[in-house]
Structure 1
Amino acid sequence: MPFLSTIKSIGSRIIPRRHKQPPDSQEQSLGTGKQAETSHSLPPLKTVNLPLVLPEHRFALADQGWSKITYQIPVEKDGLYSSAQTLFQASKSFFDLPTAQKHIYKTKEGSEEGWSFVEGEKEFITLRSLDNTPPELLEAARTFWEVAGDLLNDQLGRIAESLELPAEALDVYSKPCSRLSLEKTATMLRLFRYEGFEKDQPRIVAER
């Protein structure tokens, strides 16, 4: 996954530690040290086009392991944007439900899946499978998950290409997680609602 690019970048700057040598032998070892640096450096990454990642943001992906996603213009024609907006509207419908109704999906002990809240601060729901997804969120979450999953598979395939690897070297990890299904996978979708101000006064949620 993207962390491989980070490892490659970091690895190119690593030089093996050498034992200290007496002053009279330092000049003799200087040339050897330069050869060691050269032998441990890695070739640059192959340049590839990454959908929704601007050229000026690509370096961050190789250097940090993450990067910004920029929607297509006009955004109304961008599948990721439109599915995200639909999901936000669906999440509003869910969070507007009476608390007793949301309690049906309350997170169980030992699990992160379900609905939780912090009194006076926020509430959120974590989705991992279809059978525990509220009907208010079902279609919107399934659509967004699919669009985001397809984008991830495509991105990882291209990142593999930048490392001169076949696409399946990386997307083998993402493809099993790219659909919201009855079976839980190693990923999740979490939606939040934060409480705002009441009568222009902030609510205290924690004190020392």
Structure 2
Amino acid sequence: MANLARGNLFILSAPSGAGKSSLIKALLEKHDNVKVSVSHTTRQPRPGEENAVHYHFVTVDAFKALIEAGDFFEWAKVFDNFYGTSKQAIETQLASGIDVFLDIDWQGARQVRELVPDVKTIFILPPSREELERRLNNRGQDSQEIIAARMAEAKSESSHYCEFDYVLVNDDFDTTLNELESIVLAARLQTKNQTVKHQQLIDELLR
């Protein structure tokens, strides 16, 4: 009988508009044992976003109190807003054999890598600057000033791609999703996970 292997921790980072959220959503719809960590943030909810589903929306004072209490696995300030990831929520899911994705930027990725050296990190690039700008405009949620700021930030964020284990170019969505699934599968098949999962079999074979 197979044992329960500990879940794998993944980081998925990308500039705004690269398609990261859509990829995570599609991955969760296809796999029951994959979850995305629900981060805390001080920014205002966007249309259609729900508290405790997309983010835990909190005040700046509440967020700073959580920092002081050491409750965050990682946290960062992006576009004048704070984002953070709960330590306890992640550990509970990993211990249950669930693979957890952190939807965080390169700054958060650096913090997590220091605490969890074997975290798998993935960066999503858009196919071109023109396509990225088109996607941001098609959202219809931001002003031209904000879009210009996001384009500038995208250049800055993308310069950190080389810090990640895997880089995917989101040109064709289905292809990119398949590549993302391949990374998850490869992590599950690592020797350390297979040893736990199939310990009885291995013991019998080596008896």
TM-score with structure 2 setting the length: 0.23
Structure with max Cα Rg: 1
Higher relative contact order (CA 8 A, sep 6+): 2
